């Protein structure tokens, strides 16, 4: 990790797009720097996902209980162990091949994306990192994605993902929580970006058959390593980055059923339903190959 520049304030842009949503966004002072079978998670022409972070926090405050480690990991930060009220129940730092007992790789065509495919070989481990690669071959965009459902699901707990992303117009990623039984919604997307310079990402809570949603956006440079996460407790969702809570949701959409973690990259297309999507599509300036890199993933339950 490089020496941080002087501290600055990140600005936030928030939208609540549903009735009954109670979503608050906190201003942070920070240092500058499928389904369970492996088919992916898609709805219409849009692909979504979610992920999670690492440090104990309460609404309106942040309390770091796990020190930043001097480490030999690719990102310079090790996986936190159990701490405070949290018991670590799963961790993977991708120091060997992808463990098929814990992970299933996506394969198939996302709905509404005729020139895009998930391909198993685009999800792999290299140099101590999980790589979700998107590449253009013979008129088709191939991407990687993986589900952690085989390792287990949780109703309440904390999920953390340490990652970075190559800048690429029209190449998105999403880290998400998805229902164990496969019936959608609910869904919690804790880090999602449709592509571009990676200077902002969003979080979304989905619920109800009418797909009610609550969104929040965070200015953050995802080309650098960060730990993103989500904590779910009864009536409460907290979105975190680098151990700090940046948004809190307390509405009717908080899920109360087992959820599994999915990590995926995807080719983004123009969908008029989502403002801004048509200004960020793959073009001649898009690299023919770009990666989402994950240093580690961890999952925690409330200690008994």
State residue 267's pLDDT score.
87
Assign domain 8-24+34-62+74-199+228-302 to its CATH architecture. Sandwich (2.60)
**Tens-digit pLDDT profile for residues 21-45:** 466 665 443 333 333 333 344 332 2
Task: Look up residue 2 and give its DSSP letter.
Answer: P
State residue 272's pLDDT score.
53
Q: Exposed e or buried b for every residue in 207-236, given b needs 16+ CB within 10 A?
A: beeeebbbbbbbebbbeebbbbbbbbeeee
State residue 164's pLDDT score.
98
**Tens-digit pLDDT profile for residues 208-248:** 999 999 999 999 999 999 999 999 999 999 999 999 999 99
State residue 45's pLDDT score.
26
**Average pLDDT over all residues of the chain:** 79
Whether the CB-CB separation of 190 and 229 falls below 8 Å is answered with: yes
State residue 282's pLDDT score.
76
Sort 267 into a burial class: Cβ within 10 Å, 0-12 / 13-18 / 19+: buried
pLDDT of 76 higher than 80: yes
pLDDT of 261 higher than 60: yes
What residue segments make up the domains of the chain, in order of their start?
Answer: 8-24+34-62+74-199+228-302
State residue 14's pLDDT score.
37
């Amino acid at each position: 990790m490089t020496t941080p520049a002087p501290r600055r304030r990140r600005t936030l842009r928030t939208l609540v797009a549903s009735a009954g949503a109670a979503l608050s966004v906190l201003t942070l002072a920070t240092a500058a720097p499928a389904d369970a079978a492996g088919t992916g998670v898609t709805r219409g022409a849009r692909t979504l996902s979610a992920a999670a972070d690492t440090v104990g926090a309460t609404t309106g405050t942040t309390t770091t209980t796990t020190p930043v480690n001097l480490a030999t990991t690719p990102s310079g930060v090790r996986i936190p162990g159990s701490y405070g009220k949290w018991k670590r129940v799963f961790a993977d730092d991708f120091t060997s091949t992808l463990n098929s007992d814990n992970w299933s790789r996506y394969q198939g065509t996302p709905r509404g994306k005729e020139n895009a495919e998930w391909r198993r070989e685009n999800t792999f481990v290299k140099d101590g990192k999980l790589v979700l690669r998107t590449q253009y071959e013979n008129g088709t965009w191939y991407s990687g994605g993986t589900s952690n459902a085989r390792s287990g699901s949780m109703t309440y707990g904390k999920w953390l993902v340490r990652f970075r992303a190559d800048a690429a117009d029209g190449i998105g990623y999403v880290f998400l929580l998805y229902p164990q039984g496969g019936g959608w919604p609910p869904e919690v997307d804790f880090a999602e970006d449709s592509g571009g310079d990676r200077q902002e990402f969003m979080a979304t809570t989905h619920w109800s058959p009418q797909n009610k949603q609550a969104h929040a956006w965070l200015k953050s440079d995802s080309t650098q390593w960060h730990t993103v996460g989500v904590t779910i407790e009864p009536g409460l969702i907290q979105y975190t980055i680098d151990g700090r809570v940046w948004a809190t949701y307390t509405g009717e959409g908080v899920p109360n059923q087992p959820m599994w973690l999915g990590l995926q990259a995807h080719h983004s297309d123009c969908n008029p339903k989502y403002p801004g999507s048509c200004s960020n599509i793959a073009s001649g300036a898009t690299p023919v190959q770009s990666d989402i890199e994950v240093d580690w993933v961890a999952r925690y339950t409330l200690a008994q």
